[in-house]
Amino acid sequence: MKYVFISLTVVLLCISYLQHKQLRYTKTKITELTQVRDSLQKDVDSLSQELYPVEIELNRFETALQIFLRRNPKAAEQYSTIISEETE
């Protein structure tokens, strides 16, 4: 009976050690992934800040082209052709 108790105690200690080791590994990986996520979020935020003024400018050009199409359709078509075919 004494040896069974000692054996079970050793087995439980081994299991506990292995679980603790796995928990430490998992926490380390979570920390690393959190740092990567935070870095990527900063990149996304930075790109969004760079993109915002460009989107505003693009919308202004699109609106201007629509107004131009109403005022002078022939010239606006020529301008659209130049933009789409000759400036690539």
Domain residue ranges in the chain? 2-86
Question: DSSP secondary-structure letter at 87?
Answer: -
Q: What is the pLDDT of residues 8-62, one digit of tens each?
A: 999 999 999 999 999 999 999 999 999 999 999 999 999 999 999 999 999 999 9
User: Do residues 42 and 53 lie in contact, with contact meaning Cβ atoms separated by under 8 Å?
Assistant: no
**Torsion 75-80-81-87 (CA) sign:** positive
Residue 87 has a pLDDT of 79
Judged against a pLDDT cut of 90, whether residue 2 lies above it is answered with no
Between CA 88 and CA 76 the distance in angstroms is 18
Strands (E), the chain: none
pTM of the model: 0.57
